[in-house]
Amino acid sequence: MDITVLSIFPRMFDTLNESVIGKAQEKGLLNLNIVDFRDYTTDKQNHVDDSPYGGGAGMLLQAQPIYDAMDAVEKKTPGKKRVILLDPAGKTFNTKMAKDFAEEDNLVFICGHYEGFDERIKDLVTDEVSIGDYILTGGELPTMSMIDATMRFVPGVLGNNFSAEEESFSHGLLEYPQYSRPADFRGKKVPDVLISGNHEKIRIWRLKEALRKTLDRRPDLLKTIELTDEEKKLLREIRSEN
């Protein structure tokens, strides 16, 4: 996968050379290209922002540097691209979106700063995305989060191919509780079912606990997924226990 990021703070992305994403680059599963779009400004002072027409507080990112940077990206890696603009007004990023992005060959992220973008920049993009209902100082941190979440669904990135599918939100439910050795730590014991060796009972226990955690912490998620007959039965049991 090719991922290009347009930012005026390229060194912030050095952290993606570490851990799982760093290893993905070493394996050739990810080609990460960070572009400082300040390099493409025609302003003598290298400004990439200006005040908005009509007045108002703050500064806007100008169209010219980003358009010229995108022209250079297209020359370097021609072809179809998914271009993502980090925008607080965009759709909220989630696991489904990460999976969709992971199926693409070429992603481009445009990181904003200041009070926003010249509206004409949006003509370049395919997706306007936010990571939540709050404002950060720039789009770099949200972009890194999206890249990390997306790359987990690219085959070969995770050591265990089932890891991404097993985790919270992958099937709409929060993840069930997990334990490791020792079986008894300071009087806190691992549930007997997990050391029983009975794989079917373990599967049912995990599913029930995932439903229990979701009902307790994120009941809104249960309204967005289609439960199986087994899940409905387990959910009724959980509710009867309360």
Please tell me whether 112 is known to bind a ligand: yes
CB 87 within 8 A of CB 130: yes
User: In this structure, what DSSP letter does residue 138 have?
Assistant: B
Phi, psi of 112 (to 5 degrees): -95, 165
What 3-state DSSP class applies to 69?
helix
Please tell me whether 131 is known to bind a ligand: yes
Q: Which two tokens stand for residue 63?
A: 């169209």
The b/e string for 162-187 (b: 16+ C-beta within 10 A; e otherwise) is eebeeebbbebbbbbeeeeeeeeeee
Please tell me whether 8 is known to bind a ligand: no
Please tell me whether 116 is known to bind a ligand: no
Q: How many CB atoms lie within 10 A of CB 122?
A: 14
Cα 32 to chain centroid distance, Å, stands at: 16
CB 10 within 8 A of CB 140: no
Q: Using CA atoms in the order 51, 88, 155, 209, what is the torsion angle rounded to 10 degrees?
A: 160
Q: How many CB atoms lie within 10 A of CB 62?
A: 20
Please tell me whether 124 is known to bind a ligand: no
CA separation (Å) from 115 to 58, 63, 118, 165, 225?
A: 5, 14, 10, 37, 36
List, as residue ranges, the binding site for S-adenosyl-L-methionine: 112, 131-136
List, as residue ranges, the binding site: 112, 131-136
